[in-house]
Structure 1
Amino acid sequence: MADPSWHSAIAAGLLAMHQRDGNYFNTLIQSAFLPARSRLFAAFRQPMSKVRYILIGEGPYPREESATGVCFMDGAVSRLWAEDGSGLSKKVNRATSLRNFIKMLLVAAGALDPAHTSGSALQKVSSSAIEAYSPWIQQLAELQQHLHEQGFLLLNASLVFRSEVAPAKDGKAWQPFLQEVLSAIAEHAARSGTELPSLILWGKIAEQLRQIPVVADFPHIIAEHPYNLSFIRNETMQALFYPMHLLSRHRS
């Protein structure tokens, strides 16, 4: 699934993990980890040359259908809006991080008051969104495509979720992998004479990546994880995403 531009970085990253802990992969393959193996490197479909932003969350959703290998893109979600216009769809509401990200985008767009992001306020947006010729996108796949077009690499601090292992522990184990990935991106930028992508770290586990030496070379923004309600009102995130018009069908 990964674009060929990532193959050497992925191989180097996995080797670095093995060198750090020679038993990690033996233990991993004996567990029921998520996402499924075919989705593990799905985020790397974005070619390295197209990356302008590196968004790193915490870890995959803890549900098999939901864990796609792409940060906060829930595979169980198709429709964004409830069919009756009552708000966001039930599956979006179950995916807390995705729900709060969408609400943040609506606040940034001026469609929601940051003090009123649910109930009748959200119903007003939703009822408009499902009308014919609505300016809003309808499917999660459209949101993911818009992020892709903006140059996002949507990763997690840990590429796996295991119910029996604390996410922070797996996040620590994957740091050597991300060191190699980020180093490859930095080397590509140097060779091509382009600017380094912006690194966006969501949550405390992702914030631990600042311990990796190469991270200091990247411009980076730190925010709480979107499963926190305060994320909806995060003005730094609003300012970053507002110009992208990710929820708009017809973006300027």
Structure 2
Amino acid sequence: MVSWQAFMAQEQQQSYFQKLQQKLSEERASGVVVYPPEHDIFKAFELTPIEQVKIVILGQDPYHQPNQAHGLAFSVPKGVKPPPSLKNIYKAIINDYPSAQIPMHGDLQAWAEQGVLLLNTSLTVRESVAGSHAKLGWQQFTQNALRYLAQYQACAYLLWGKHAQNVAEPIVANSIHRKSSLVLNSVHPSPLSAHRGFLTCGHFRAANKWLQEQGKSPIRWLNTETPESEQYTFL
């Protein structure tokens, strides 16, 4: 049976994954602060079962400052100020859906529950050290997860920045569902690059159009009516 649980069980038998877990345990035992908390590391898989995945959004690292990372790419828990990249994601959604309202929080769990796999290529990071776990083995794990998904069903892939594109594009191109999947590329939503086309990339409306063509329900990216007290005003 195809499931994320079956995939996890398969990977846990692999030596690279066992070494990865050992390294993480050693870091924590030595007092290194690692994000996200252990119970959130695999949250993307827990909230979005494989048979429910409609869209893949691929990030790079979890946020590496306190209280930010909670296992979903680009997302932060409620009560934490949305980081700049997420603010730009919200702006791009407003460009596609002008009647939508930007919420006060940056928690994207509602997207995950609708079928958006919010996956980072590294699932952990040391506090204040971006990219610190990129070579621990996580990329092999997440690439294997994407291969597993790509062989199972067609999806829409929203790939922002060269890193996401280099990781995912070859996997989709070599999958049995390559012709029926949708791959959308843009620059990263970081403030350093978002102005070069991300804010007007049209990915959110395009992905929903594709879903409807497949007979699937579109993603409700943002509410169309949000109390003013819960809205951001940075646009």
Verify same fold: TM over 0.5. yes
Which secondary structure state, in structure 1, belongs to the residue aligned with residue 34 of structure 2? coil
8 Å CA contact 1:57–1:71 kept in 2: the answer is: yes
Question: What is the aligned partner in structure 1 of residue 201 from structure 2?
Answer: 235
Q: If the length of structure 2 is used for normalisation, what is the TM-score?
A: 0.69
Report the residue type matching 1:223 in the other structure: S
Residues 140 and 183 of structure 1: is their aligned pair in 2 closer, same or farther, counting only changes over 3 Å?
A: same
Larger radius of gyration between Structure 1 and Structure 2 = 1
Q: CA deviation at 1:105?
A: 1.1
The 5 A counterparts of 1:195-210 are 196-210=154-168
How far does the alpha carbon of each residue in 1:93-135 deviate from its partner, in whole angstroms, 9 at most, with x for none?
xx11111111111122236xxxxxxxxxxxxxxxxxxxxxxx7
Are the aligned partners of 2:64 and 2:128 in contact in 1 as well (CA < 8 Å)?
Answer: no
Q: How much is the aligned-residue C-alpha RMSD, in angstroms?
A: 3.3
Name 1:247's counterpart in structure 2: 222
The CA deviation at 1:165 is 5.8
Percent identity between matched residues is: 25
Instruction: Tell me the residue number matched to 1:13.
Output: 11
Distance, in Å, in 1 between the alignment partners of 2:223 and 2:160 is 24
Q: Secondary structure at the match of 2:61?
A: coil
Query: How far off its partner does 1:207 sit?
Result: 2.5
Q: Which runs of 5+ in 1 are unaligned?
A: 79-90, 112-134, 190-195
Q: Deviations over 1:217-239 (max 9, x none)?
A: 24322222211332542424254
Which residue is equivalent to 1:144?
109
CA 203–7 in structure 1, closer or farther in 2 if over 3 Å, else same: same
Match of 1:69 in 2: 71
Ranked by relative contact order (alpha carbons within 8 Å, sequence separation 6 or more), the top structure is: 1
Distance 1:210 1:138 in 2: 30
- Whole-Å separation in 2 of the counterparts to 1:43 and 1:242: 20
User: 1:174 pairs with 138, 150, 153, which one?
Assistant: 138
CA contact 1:54–1:152 (8 Å) conserved in 2:
yes
Alignment CA distance shift 1:229-1:212 (3 Å): closer
Q: TM-score, normalised by structure 1?
A: 0.65
Deviates more, 1:36-45 or 1:236-245: 236-245
SS of equivalent to 2:58: strand
SS of aligned partner of 2:51:
helix
Greater alpha carbon shift after TM alignment, 32-41 vs 234-243: 234-243
Q: How many residues align?
A: 201
Pick aligned residue for 1:28 from 9, 17, 24:
24
Aligned to 2:50: 48
**What is the rounded CA distance, in whole Å, between the counterparts of 1:164 and 1:137 in structure 2?**
28
Query: Which residue matches 1:183?
Result: 147
Residue 40 of structure 2 aligns with which residue? Answer: 39
Counterpart CA distance in 1 for 2:35 and 2:163 is 18
Greater share of helix: 1
Q: Which stretch shifts more, 33-42 or 239-248?
A: 239-248
Alpha-carbon distance, 1:208 to partner: 2.9
Q: 3-state SS of the aligned residue for 1:54?
A: strand
Kept after mapping to 1: 8 A contact 2:92/2:201: no
- Secondary structure of 1:100 counterpart: helix
